[in-house]
Amino acid sequence: MKKEKLLLLFPDGVGIRNYLYSNTFQDLDKDLVLFHNFDLETIKEIGKNTVIDEDISIPEYKESIKEKFLRELICLSRLYYNNSIINNPTLLTNWNWNHKSMSKKIFYKLIEFLAPRFKKYSSILKLEKKYQEALRENDFYKEVKSILKEVQPSLLFCSHQRALKAATIFRAAADLGIPTTTVIYSWDNLPKARMALKADSYLLWSEHMKKELNLFYPEIREENIHVTGTPQFEFYDDQENILEKDFFYKNYNLDQNKKIICFSGDDVKTSPDDPDYLKDIAQEIVSAGLQNQYQILFRRCPVDFSGRYDKVVEEFKDLIKEAPPLWYFNKSKEWSAVYPTMDDVKLLVSTVFYSDIVVNVGSTMAFDFGKFNKPCVFINYDQSNKKNENWSVNTIYQFQHFKSMSDLNAVIWLNSKEEIIDKIIYKKGCNSIESLKQWSNVVIGSEDNCATNNILELLNKIIKK
């Protein structure tokens, strides 16, 4: 008997890690068909962890001016609408207000002029309808529809709700009566008004995320919303993902007699002053004479291709050790064209396991470290010589997703360079890991919630309908 097919769409590397390197599809008795733009090396790496029965290349996609105009107008209109219901002006920082070329200035100025006139929700829904109609006019839609007709999948699954080409693929699937499922990618995505596609089912991390979806997208029906959890934190539950201690320390030039401080870097836009924060920590440790007791393990953001850390790493090469993410990079170096290896999963889990504490600017790495009952330090001061004068931690921590933190003691707040020794070394301000655990349960769901099983059961249920 011929198996039913599940068509898988992964617009970015994090989706590959979370769903193809976990057990999400391991016990699904369906043929897995990858719909992708990956290179051969990535396909091989995926095949080591999940058996792919067929892979199909996605045709080239070029967004039309009409599609882009409607998409961007919807985004800014939604940001205005979202701000009107929660009164958080930081939402509008998700919009790029500065464009260099004259053509882009004209294009976006028109959108900025019109958007305040469409912030009424009924008007936004009319724009959404026009956008869905515009998707059908693209040749890409016709090509994808033809492929879907031939493949005849029982279900289309996408790991990211904001990928542009996914919107057209989902439109074509819906027009053919193929059920569609998407995952809300991250904890901060829903208020940002970047829901590019329309799906039959939405998979969410937690009840908190469900409340946000209901608030910002009230047109989505309750029966289409499913709280499943996210597989990305389940890697910490598998002891086999922890590298042998001697191998880990030797491979990254670490000293087993010193405690490890993990510095987790963000991308350039999210935290432009990260190299200076790293330097501050290194300087304070050396000034306090603690370099023989502590070492810094630096893990950069996988999509940060800059050389901005080189100078400080070289200056403190005896103190700062690097554990570069083990990801594949193609020549374009676009964030959506960067994919992890399974070895990177083990590197990340081992980094958390062997480190004493993590330091960063507002990252979900707090939840990763919480899995091993390790504290997190959030950097909470601005540099005197900022790379971007418009950037500030005062804005960062006002973002809507931080409203989920009801207890500020969930993390240690590093409010100045002078507090580095007290807060990072002596963990002043960390009374208990319990507050971090409680915050984690709000954002990513209960530790008892097995996301891989929940998703598997849900997909089977959808396919059987």
Who contacts 232 (Cβ-Cβ below 8 Å, separation ≥6)? 14, 17, 18, 22
pLDDT in tens, 371-421: 999 999 999 999 999 999 989 999 999 999 999 999 999 999 999 999 999
Query: Is 171's pLDDT higher than 60?
Result: yes
SS3 (DSSP) at 446 = coil
What is the pLDDT at residue 339? 82
Consecutive H or E run containing 298: strand 294-299
CB–CB of 226/462 below 8 Å? no
Span 238-268, pLDDT tens digits: 999 999 999 999 999 999 999 999 999 999 9
Q: Which helix (H) or strand (E) holds 150?
A: helix 139-151
Report the length, in residues, of the chain: 465
> Does pLDDT of 335 surpass 50?
no
Q: For residues 151 and 177, is the Cβ–Cβ distance under 8 A?
A: no
pLDDT for the residue 49 = 87
Domains of the chain, earliest start first: 5-62+138-229+449-464 (3.40.50.2000), 65-131 (no CATH), 239-444 (3.40.50.2000)
Q: Which two tokens stand for residue 68?
A: 């882009």
Residue 302: what are its φ and ψ, rounded to 5°?
Answer: -60, -25
Sheet holding 225-227, edge to edge: 54-57, 31-36, 5-9, 155-158, 180-183, 201-204, 225-227
Question: Residue 221 and residue 7: Cα distance in Å, rounded?
Answer: 24
How many helices (H) does the chain have, and how many strands (E)?
Answer: 17, 15
Going by C-alpha positions, the residue among 264, 449, 338, 437 that lies closest to residue 42 is: 338
The dihedrals phi and psi of 202, each to the nearest 5 degrees, come to -120, 125
Per-residue pLDDT at 330: 62
- Burial degree of 276 (CB within 10 A; 0-12, 13-18, 19+): middle
Q: Which residue has the tokens 């960062």?
A: 396
Tens of pLDDT, residues 270-294: 999 999 999 999 999 999 999 999 9
